[in-house]
Structure 1
Amino acid sequence: MTPAARTVPTIALGAWDWRHPEWDEHFYGADLPQEWRLTFYSNEFDAVGLYAAGWMEPPMAELEQWIEDTHADFRFHLVMPSMVLKGDEDVFGNIAERLSLLQPRLGSILLSVASETCLSMLGLLAPVGVPLYGLHAGRLVPQAMPDFHAVMDRETAPLLVLRPEPEGEAPTLASVRSKQRVLRAGMDALALRGRATILVQDTPLKMLGRLEDMRSMRTLLGWQ
């Protein structure tokens, strides 16, 4: 009898925005043109989180270029602007058009408010099939996990949004190893879902460091 094929977890990794001046030297390189940076980022990581201003303020042509600049498996996770509750027809049209442009790469729409009214409006605006997740927005929609402790709650979304780490003393060998053990345990628990996304919020350089640690752990474990 042929043994069942082992299912390899797919854990997508991403930062909160990719447009950070602090990354010019440490990540992109000073000689990489601005217009190539999203492509570079999407080749290194799998997803990105954006607050409302990050995708509502750029011109439509720029959003269209985002699709051209990223590969088919890359995903944007977008925070819905609070103005959606104001019920303005022009606002609705603007949001709907932007979501439609980004639909091929939409990973989720993130809500800071999840009232019945808000969800009804989003039912008219959001592309079909794009999941709605909450950022501490009640239980009307699955909640994005704020830390690895929430992984075992199966009612949460398959999305982990890690908050900034507190500033502390200079790391020691013992503290680094402890941090690695915590990361390994958290990622092992997350892998039980089979497929999930981790987005990191922190200062620009700390985001890179934390993502590199996670990517190294993912590679070590043989995951995708």
Structure 2
Amino acid sequence: MTARVGVVTFPGSLDDKDAARAVSLAGAEPVALWHADPDLKGVDAVVLPGGFSYGDYLRCGAIARFAPLMSELVPAARSGALPVLGICNGFQILCESHLLPGALTRNSSLRFVNRDQVLRMENTRTAWTNGYDEGQEILVVLKSGEGSYVADEETLDQLESEGRVVARYVGGNPNGSRRDIAGVTNAHGNVVGLMPHPEHAVEALTGPSTEGLGFFTSILGHLAAPAQA
């Protein structure tokens, strides 16, 4: 049976269509989910896409965490049952929802950054990264104004010791993120937040590479694994 991956649209989402296309190219069925509808429609996994949910008023993702859909998503993700990938604004929403530690703040340059970005994959055991090799470098797109990942030293040390840093920036830190962190995961490995945009690197015609597709094929491998056990 084809895996069904929900893609949430909030007011101000920009990359929901791109995420849905990436899901489709990976071989899954994208399912549109609306922020105001608490029904997850029985999907197998969820992508929180990039954009400016609710206009980024108050703080990026701070209002989206209270969306009706999140009332069902948060407990399912927290239990480890529901795989969730938060990209850019989606990462911010995951932090605001306390599904991931830390926060995303203004870039150290105080400017919006839009560039092709190399990442080094650090944790390839998550639901969303198992298709990569540890230490593999991939080229994706980074576009954000508030992409600097911050956390206190104790939290950063815990993430490091537990292997929960998913990816780091290579070739210079583009936004001032602590310890060059580009993405992190929760303890279960089912929730991943990533500031760069893998969904913009899935087709040779439009992306700097196709190396972002691995995030979307990884979830298929994760969902198929129990049936193979």
TM-score (norm 1): 0.34
Higher helix share: 1
| Higher relative contact order, chain-length normalized (CA < 8 Å, sep 6+) | 1
Higher strand share: 2
TM-score (norm 2): 0.33
